[in-house]
Amino acid sequence: MGPPPACEKHAKALGFIEETTMNTGAVQERVLREILGRNAETEYLGRFGLRGATDRETFKSKVPVVTSGTSAGERKLMPTIHEDLDRRTLLYSLLMPVMNLYVPGLDKGKGLYFLFVKAETKTPGGLLARPVLTSYYKSEHFKTRPFDPYNVYTSPNEAILCADSFQSMHTQMLCGLIMREEVLRIGAVFASGLVRAIKFLQLNWKELAEDISSGKLSPRITDPSIKECMGNILKPNPQLAEFITKECEGDNWECIITRIWPNTKYLEVIVTGAMAQYIPTLDYFSGGLPLPCTMYASSESYFGLNLKPMSKPSDVSYTIMPNMAYFEFLPHDPAAAPPSSSDSPPPKLVDLADVDVGKEYELIITTYSGLCRYRVGDILRVTAFHNAAPQFKFIRRKNVLLSIDSDKTDEAELQTAIDSASLLLKRFDTSIVEYTSYADTKTIPGHYVIYWELMGKDPANSPSEEVLEQCCLAMEESFNSVYRQGRVADNSIGPLEIRVVENGTFEELMDYAISRGASINQYKVPRCVSFTPITELLDSRVVSSHFSPAPPQWTPGRHLQTFVLLLLLLLLKAFVVQIYKPSFFSFSTIGNDYEEDVVDVEGEVETPPQQAEEWWGRWRRCGGRRLGGGRELD
């Protein structure tokens, strides 16, 4: 795997990777036995007649493959157990031993990582629901983590755990500037998050420099815990403030990362999948520093790691660790026609050790926390094997058209938003002839761009600037809560833009596609474009541009209301995707660049209402077990 490890601890971690991947088949059988054995008496498995069986053949023949059954793009809830934190910590503990093989000396400095918590809500039964990373950062696993010279952050826990995004970002950036010569690596979870951090520096460097010069925090920082911890970090340093002013006051921000943090060896962010669109921006800011993608995980589970982290983003492959969950794979042929009827037999699922190099699959998982033969929605391509464990390249999220940050918008949701906006055009006898879209990441934050070709009966009665702006807002109101949270709370998505193009533009678009070999009989207008010549053609025909005049409505608990209504429908259909209490949760995915809410089903419930009492009672009747192997409820 490269040069020898740096220390005995790293040697043990690398040995664990080798041993586990050499016995992929046996480890997978053990994982499935453990999951099924723990849950043999649950209501969900009981309805399929497993009768305590824990072998693969019985499991595959009796338990169906499921999806979330919820609307595309909407945030979903899924269960988590305390043992999941152990599993996440285990995977994290493998990352630095691998990285240190390629980048030695990481124990000699610190990491500037921009990490944030997000809003929390309560389920109708009183259980805490929050994004998976927020759950981890607020856990004792993170807050009381033992000292590790290879994982020292510049950001204090108080800044990471501050719910106010401005105060958190300001403090984390301030600490990074104060310790700039100690910083060896810079990162965030998503590439978009690191781009936002640099944009924050562009907008707020004067205030940050003033803090450093005076040794006093900005009056805008009011969080008591931050003020207390920064008392030990922030001291007057006029020389550093002068340096920051000199570097930031001009218009040239090329290589700003290496100019301010000269010892930075790499940027650690997710740049696969939808995040690949931020690579040019990061290259500009960093002067082309390496962009290692270290791990593959989601809200549902933790999957694997990159054993060659310094490879180019386009060459990244993740080695699946067979001890993380039970993995199956649905063959996916991008060139194949859809099934001729709903009666067509589904393709046979393939086990982890039996996938073929070069083929694409959709990931399906069975987890310790309750998901059972669940379709994650990630499309992966097998690139090689490490010992007996396959290595996968992340291809894309299934059915996703637009994504700026953690948002995912598919074609159906985009069409619904278009329909909502088009209602505002009816009184002007105007209709949308055609449309397409693209995710514009040249702006910071990025934003959705929608191209419209309009047709009106009376040019004198065409929709005004104000009406088209309201169309932008109507579309945003139609999008899912993940998008709206990005617009309102996280400031990770900019206002939606509608660009009206000349009549005949989409005919030109078809002509261009045909000139490149497309069939005129099979041509369809693409609902999302990214090919530069096409976006340039569309932009050259723009006659007016309009932005959403205000953020859409969003509150932390709003998606739970939708969830409860959907829940009632699922109960009527007896649709099940979960082991604990089939009618209580719904599930979906984040792929490798998306974050969902998780529900701590092992957490304490504060004075649970009647729904929760009924839920606990039904869980007891299902066996009263904690899937993580902890104490029984009784």
Q: Which strands, in side-by-side order, build the sheet including 183-190?
A: 110-114, 183-190, 266-270
Residue whose structure tokens are 């990352």: 95
Answer yes or no: is pLDDT of 587 > 70. no
Choose among 272, 368, 513: nearest CA to 30: 368
Pick the range with the lowest mean pLDDT from 137-141, 415-419, 564-568, 629-633.
Answer: 629-633
Confidence of residue 109 (pLDDT cuts 50, 70, 90): very high
Dist CA 342 CA 345 (whole Å): 8
3-class state of residue 76 by DSSP: coil
Residue whose structure tokens are 């299934």: 398
Q: What pLDDT does residue 352 have?
A: 97
Main-chain dihedrals φ then ψ at residue 375, nearest 5 degrees = -80, 110
Q: What pLDDT does residue 333 have?
A: 80
Pick the range with the lowest mean pLDDT from 387-396, 406-415, 486-495.
Answer: 406-415
Read off the pLDDT of each residue in 160-164 and give the average, rounded to a whole number: 92
What is the per-residue burial (b if ≥16 Cβ within 10 Å, else e) of 358-382? eebbbbbbbbbbbbbbbbbbbbbbb
Q: What pLDDT does residue 343 have?
A: 52
Q: What pLDDT does residue 286 have?
A: 95
Answer yes or no: is pLDDT of 246 > 70. yes
Pick 149 or 606 by higher pLDDT.
Answer: 149
Q: What pLDDT does residue 308 have?
A: 95
Read off the pLDDT of each residue in 183-193 and give the average, rounded to a whole number: 91
Query: Do residues 289 and 257 touch, judged by C-beta distance below 8 A?
Result: yes
Choose among 184, 117, 188: nearest CA to 152: 184
Answer yes or no: is pLDDT of 519 > 90. no
Dist CA 613 CA 622 (whole Å): 14
Read off the pLDDT of each residue in 573-598 and give the average, rounded to a whole number: 38
* Cα–Cα distance list, 261 to 109, 203, 264, 369 (Å): 12, 18, 6, 41
- Helix and strand numbers (H, E) in the chain are 21, 21
Q: What pLDDT does residue 227 have?
A: 95
Quick: pLDDT tens for 123-138.
Answer: 888 888 888 888 888 8
Amino acid type, 489: A
Quick: pLDDT tens for 82-97.
Answer: 888 888 888 989 999 9
Q: What pLDDT does residue 611 have?
A: 33
Dist CA 488 CA 470 (whole Å): 17
Residue whose structure tokens are 């969900």: 44
Answer yes or no: is pLDDT of 161 > 90. yes
Q: What pLDDT does residue 521 have?
A: 53
Quick: pLDDT tens for 227-237.
Answer: 999 999 999 99
Q: What pLDDT does residue 595 have?
A: 55
Main-chain dihedrals φ then ψ at residue 304, nearest 5 degrees = -175, -165
Q: What pLDDT does residue 316 have?
A: 93
Confidence of residue 191 (pLDDT cuts 50, 70, 90): confident
Read off the pLDDT of each residue in 428-440 and give the average, rounded to a whole number: 88
Main-chain dihedrals φ then ψ at residue 269, nearest 5 degrees = -145, 160
Return the structure tokens found at 110.
Answer: 């610190």
Answer yes or no: is pLDDT of 471 > 50. yes
Confidence of residue 259 (pLDDT cuts 50, 70, 90): very high
Answer yes or no: is pLDDT of 122 > 50. yes
**H, E, C per residue of 491-546:** CCCCCCEEEEECCCHHHHHHHHHHHCCCCCCCCCCCCCCCCHHHHHHHHHCEEEEE
Answer yes or no: is pLDDT of 322 > 80. yes
Read off the pLDDT of each residue in 277-299 and give the average, rounded to a whole number: 90
Query: Do residues 592 and 270 touch, judged by C-beta distance below 8 A?
Result: yes
Q: Which of 117-121, 341-345, 388-392, 528-532 has the highest mean pLDDT?
A: 388-392
Answer yes or no: is pLDDT of 514 > 80. no
Read off the pLDDT of each residue in 410-427 and give the average, rounded to a whole number: 88
Dist CA 187 CA 153 (whole Å): 11
3-class state of residue 547 by DSSP: strand
Average pLDDT of the chain, as a whole number: 82
CA 281 to chain CA mean position, Å: 19
The residues with which 165 forms a beta bridge, in sequence order, are none
Q: Which of 184-198, 518-532, 576-590 has the highest mean pLDDT?
A: 184-198
Pick 71 or 321 by higher pLDDT.
Answer: 321
Neighbours of 541 (CB within 10 A): 18
The residues with which 121 forms a beta bridge, in sequence order, are 129
420: Cβ–Cβ under 8 A, 6 or more apart, which residues? 474, 475, 477, 478
Q: What pLDDT does residue 127 have?
A: 83
Q: What pLDDT does residue 599 have?
A: 60
Q: What is the DSSP letter of 345?
A: P
Dist CA 448 CA 438 (whole Å): 6
Return the structure tokens found at 260.
Answer: 């301010």
Amino acid type, 587: F
589: Cβ–Cβ under 8 A, 6 or more apart, which residues? 68, 298, 299, 300, 376, 377, 378, 397, 596
Q: Is the pTM of this model over 0.85?
A: no
Pick the range with the lowest mean pLDDT from 45-54, 223-232, 494-503, 576-585.
Answer: 576-585
Q: What pLDDT does residue 272 have?
A: 82
Dist CA 193 CA 491 (whole Å): 10
Answer yes or no: is pLDDT of 618 > 60. no
Return the structure tokens found at 49.
Answer: 């007649």
Read off the pLDDT of each residue in 269-290 and give the average, rounded to a whole number: 87
Residue ranges of domains in the chain: 104-264, 401-547
Quick: pLDDT tens for 483-496.
Answer: 998 899 888 899 99
Orientation of helix 165-178 relative to helix 238-248, angle to 10°: 110
Percent of the chain with pLDDT over 70: 82
Q: What is the DSSP letter of 55?
A: S
Return the structure tokens found at 359.
Answer: 């083929």
Q: What pLDDT does residue 344 have?
A: 54
Choose among 610, 608, 586: nearest CA to 598: 586
Pick 530 or 545 by higher pLDDT.
Answer: 545
Q: What pLDDT does residue 609 have?
A: 32
Residues of the chain by 3-state class (helix, strand, coil), percent to 5: 40, 20, 40
Neighbours of 537 (CB within 10 A): 17
Query: Do residues 296 and 305 touch, judged by C-beta distance below 8 A?
Result: yes
100: Cβ–Cβ under 8 A, 6 or more apart, which residues? 5, 6, 10, 106, 150
